A and B are shown apart, each in its own frame.
Chain A
Amino acid sequence: MKNHMNRMYLELSVAYLSFLAAISLFYGAVELVGYRIFLTPLVLTALFPLCFLKNVEKKWIFVLFTVFLAIVDFLIALYPVNVWDVMGGFSLLVASTLMFYSVKDTLRLLYSGLSFYIVGLFLLLAIGILNIIILLAKILDYYIQCIGETCGGYPLTIRPEIFLFFLGLFALYPFFHRWEFRRKME
């Protein structure tokens, strides 16, 4: 019984990871090209793990959860964000690709899958935390520049990396939980 539960958590984590990957892919693309229109369908990549359904045990729960997350992704993507930052977008795309790449092997309980899971997620979190620090620095800079002048409050715009960071924190869950992974035999 316990084993089944673990297996299910793993599958749900993978679904959640591709949810994260899909939304990172979307924002990566947005930042890369500088506009949002026509890019929303990219969030449908959250359905990607359904390609590996044969490696999944609890098929129905998995499908429902994945579809549900894809819808959440879609809703999030409706919120207007306009950032144009080529390298920032590229970073998100790389993190997103790593996470997508991990899906197949993680479901097959192979170490190479978990490797991409860890590094992809870590990269996403690192991007997020650096952007949070940068935002704080920008606010500080704004008020330093303001000394002696009259100026209003800081025109706060939250970059998508920042809430991706908070969404990413939930994907850390598997590290508090241990699964038996086997080494890929060459």
Chain B
Amino acid sequence: MKLSDLKVGESALVTKVEGKGAIHRRLLSMGILPGTVIRMVRISPLGDPIAYEIRGVFISLRRDEAKYIEVEKIVPLNLVPPGERVRVILVDGGPGFMRNLSEMGITPGKMVEILRGCCPMSVRTELGVFQVGMGIASRVFVR
């Protein structure tokens, strides 16, 4: 799907940045690259442009520009309702953070099951049942 098709509050993973010349380069240099997590934050009252959160920064893109960005929808772990089994797509953080999570069995490609939503959240992974803080869960993206 295209980035412009996201709804308010939804997150997505960038898969391809298309376009040519200035617009292509500008998107790239703002950090919109394949593998980047991007969240749709809000729409301007007139319907365009749209504000997105990328790498902790709010950036406004026009619809025409957002169309160049191919994404796939993902959900942060903390918004997954209890009882669902989901696949981890991406863990957004530094090496230490990734290490801590992999000790719980949360690494890209693995399945996790949400046992309880809040608070704290508890999940079952291949390595057992663990409790995950909301702040941490919001940086784990699943589908």
Is A in direct contact with B (CB under 8 Å) within the complex?
Answer: yes
A89 to B79: give the CA distance in the assembly, Å: 43
> Is A149 an interface residue when CB atoms closer than 8 A count as contact?
no
For this complex, 3 residue pairs linking A to B, each with C-beta atoms less than 8 Å apart, are A185-B79, A186-B8, A186-B9
**Inter-chain contact count A-B, CB under 8 Å?**
3
Interface size on A, residues (CB 8 A): 2
Q: Name the CB-closest residue of A to B118.
A: A185
B residues engaging A (CB < 8 A)? Answer: 8-9, 79
Determine the chain A residues whose CB is within 8 A of the CB of B8 once the complex forms. 186
Chain A: interface secondary structure?
A: loop
Determine the chain B residues whose CB is within 8 A of the CB of A185 once the complex forms. 79
A5 to B129: give the CA distance in the assembly, Å: 38
Determine the chain A residues whose CB is within 8 A of the CB of B79 once the complex forms. 185
A186 to B75: give the CA distance in the assembly, Å: 12
Determine the chain A residues whose CB is within 8 A of the CB of B9 once the complex forms. 186
Within 8 A of B (CB), among A132-186: 185-186
Smallest distance from the beta carbon of A110 to chain B beta carbons, Å?
15
A186 to B11: give the CA distance in the assembly, Å: 13
Smallest distance from the beta carbon of A182 to chain B beta carbons, Å?
10
